Chains A and B, each alone.
Chain A
């Protein structure tokens, strides 16, 4: 079997699994919309503040939700014995990872499109550059979240642990990425710390896409880091899939 067939078979299998779980799909699509609406309401008296955080939030929600969904789904695959069985069959580890990647990127595309529609269409968010650029960044962030989720699932033994990775890995990045306080206003050690976090670059790219000023070379670096960390996490994730185990 060619690698591509096994990848696509895996992607369509993962999508079928998600389709059987309409509640998860509803949560994936509806929750970010409600949250963006809440942010809009909380900042009702300060439209410029909503303008500043709204667009980055559109692109960061997919990252967080894909991280969670992927780490739990992959953990189930590891603990249920299906992964061990799968790896005795003619399928490459890369097929498993890419299959998951394609499936979740498709879900992320839907999620990002719907949330963007709410943000741009109903809540009057405006964006300096193309709205499609924001959607594309949201999808890239979703794939980043998925890759990090796949990798981190190797370090959880139970679903309880996997869920705790969210406050452990994701929350500090949200605090430090520049969304709440501009990085330049933080203590120097926090700036250094945030420079090591992928969220910082994901946020910065979205914030630049939202502004009317030119994207600048820093935007290229942001995209490079997001794509680079995705590939790195996928490669490390592939390393955690073992055909032979103790």
Chain B
């Protein structure tokens, strides 16, 4: 049909020939470029990377870790040897901070990953099938949505012998946070499934799992990613709350919430115990929220806002 590598239509219309060079930019590149234009998000990304380094690489570089040492004098204000002071039991606060940040980040990202995986499949399945399947699945989601996250997680953690490792905490929090993702995904899928390419897949003989995994979820990727990012911040605050109440990560392991909890009575007397973990928590959540906002702007092709 065509010998010299050009289709018939391209030969007839020279404008189509030019299309080849400009269309090299893939969708992914477009999204990345749009994200980089969002200044708060970019700054937050850098900041978060620094915090992650602090949390995961810091312990290898800093003299003290998060456990108690006899040599450490207790209740010392910040000094050269202990830039953030020491705790009542004899911890180096900086070492605690690093480890606390590490645990907090590990829990939060695990929660987000788990919840997103389960919630996306659940929501997409409910949205695709519709009817009674959908109604039933969403009732289940509603039940989990209505329960206060902290309450439920604390109750389970406090009552079960599941231990208080960060992975157990992550699992417990995930049980109550997948529902928000499911709801978001179902909403997106409801509008997607009316599109003709879904019908085309059915006409080719595609089964429901095929359509859900290969068509619906990839096309819902944008909102899913945004929701997952914002869920990280929610998970951080949930874990912090649990640890603050003594029902989350417990000694000898440390988390930021727990540090604040132990320092509850020392807000004015030993502020170096109370403020640093809180500030770090706020920074982490702030950066994640901004990144989520930037992702939302980058992934939504209809966004017309121009950030300064």
A and B co-occur in one complex: no
Q: Which residues of A contact B (CB under 8 A)?
A: none
Q: Which residues of B contact A (CB under 8 A)?
A: none
